Amino acid sequence: MLDGGKIVEDGTYEELLEKQGYFHELVERQNIPFGYEVVGGRYVVNNGEAEIISSIYSMYLSGKTLLGIAEALTEQEVTYFEDTKVWNKNMVSRILADERYLGNETFPRLVDSNNFNLAKNIRAEKGGKKAVLTPLMATVKDMLYCAECGETFSRINKWRTREKWLCKGKCKCSVYLDDRTICESILSVLNRAIREPNLLTAPANNTEYIGSIEVIRKSNEVNRLLEQTEIDYKRAATMILDCASERYKCCVLGGGKHVLNALSSEYDQLTEQSELDEALLKRTVKKITVGHTGEFTVYFIGDIALTNTPKHMEDENAS
């Protein structure tokens, strides 16, 4: 065993451990989890390292990546072990996954169980450990967009106690969106169309332009580019032309009345549904949007749009 280039102990691994000397002390230090130290033969909190752990959780839950956190800690010259001040994402991942921080008979608690589980869910989602969607929910996922920004939704398999759908554009929704809420909201719109098939016979406003999600996305990109202080006009011109091209794709010549009549006729022959029908959804619906107050708008083929009234808004109106 060398220390500063000098032999301080010699022997096999087992012999060095039995000596309870320098080598034993080094091994013990290596086995102490980050955030703790041993005092009087017991694990106690290392306050400085505990603050770092708290900071890691705070950064991760606010959206920072494992690599981003590692780079931040390296830049701050935070010591991980001995003289190691260069962090990597594996070090950060191990800290986020260490259940000893929840506390037990040996280790004092360092991390709140709620934050630990939130971080665990995020790691599972980012790590590709996603639940396999049912065919129905896979169809819904392909159709579902945010009404505010035009982005699609991601589905977190377990958020605290159940799944949760989140806008990829970070828009907030006042209603908790899980599978059941989404299916029930869409079903309420389809059942309204079944009760009142005449709503599907003609658009409420024939002159209203209904842009696709791709048009919304491209328009937002153009607007963000034009807001910059130094504009790349060549790139801006290309993006504007792309956006215009996408807009004209929405212009369908002929066949509209025939489509609407067929749509209205199909819903007129249906009875109210108790469960969402995937086949009906695929056959008659183009897209579905969710607003920030939880309202669902279903866009049928033929550009007919119907919106539900969220239950919490019905209760407010009733009162």
Mean pLDDT by 10 residues, the chain (319 residues): 49 53 47 83 89 94 92 92 85 93 92 92 70 86 94 82 88 93 96 93 54 72 79 81 71 60 91 94 94 94 86 51
- Four-point Cα dihedral 106, 110, 114, 117, nearest 10: -70
CB 103 within 8 A of CB 112: no
Measure CA 289 to chain center: 17
- Gap between the Cα atoms of 133 and 143, Å rounded: 14
Which pLDDT score is estimated for 290?
96
- Gap between the Cα atoms of 101 and 34, Å rounded: 10
Which pLDDT score is estimated for 17?
43
- Gap between the Cα atoms of 289 and 186, Å rounded: 10
Neighbouring C-beta atoms of residue 104, cutoff 10 Å:
10
Which pLDDT score is estimated for 219?
79
Cα R_g (the chain), whole angstroms: 29
Tokens 């002159």 sit at which residue?
207
Which pLDDT score is estimated for 238?
84
Q: Tally the residues of the chain.
A: 319
Measure CA 11 to chain center: 53
Which pLDDT score is estimated for 244?
77
Which pLDDT score is estimated for 243?
75
Which pLDDT score is estimated for 227?
79
- What pTM was computed for the model? 0.48
- Four-point Cα dihedral 36, 125, 128, 57, nearest 10: -20
- Four-point Cα dihedral 14, 17, 18, 20, nearest 10: 170
Which pLDDT score is estimated for 39?
82
CB 319 within 8 A of CB 301: no
